[in-house]
Amino acid sequence: MSPSIKENPVALFHRLAETGRAPVDFVLDGQALSALAGDTVLTAVLTHGAQLRRSEFSGEPRAGFCLMGACQDCWIATESGQRLRACGTFIEEGMRLLTGTGESS
Ligand code: FES
């Protein structure tokens, strides 16, 4: 079952439809989480929290802006050091992501 606003008040995105898609397990800052098949990385992360990363320049939290691949505001790192554009990358089973704010960052 997907988290609702009541269940996860810190999430920036709240799933209102298409809740029956297959689950996709991933890890964010060392924490096992679940998204749904067809979610972008941005959707997968922001249904569990309020940011993708902190700006390397200002330290301010970033969560994407355009949601369509134009602004470059949604970069997120994998544990292996790869950088992904979160709004244009589908979440994959076993993906391991870092926001730069968690225990594994
Ligand atoms: S949110 Fe703008 S490029 Fe991803």
Domain architecture of the chain: domains with CATH = 3-98 (3.10.20.440)
pTM: 0.87
Query: Tokens at residue 101, please?
Result: 């704010």
Cα(31) to centroid of ligand 1, in Å?
24
Query: Looking at residue 2, what is its pLDDT?
Result: 45
- The burial class, CB within 10 Å (0-12 / 13-18 / 19+), for 88 is middle
For residue 57, what pLDDT band results from cuts at 50, 70 and 90?
confident
Query: Tokens at residue 64, please?
Result: 């994407």
pLDDT above 80: residue 4: no
Collapsing DSSP to helix, strand or coil, 46 comes out as helix
Cα(66) to centroid of ligand 1, in Å?
5
How big is the CA angle at 104 (ends 38 and 50), to the nearest 5 degrees?
A: 50
| Interval 61-81 mean pLDDT | 94
Ligand 1, closest atom to CA 70? 3
Cα(17) to centroid of ligand 1, in Å?
22
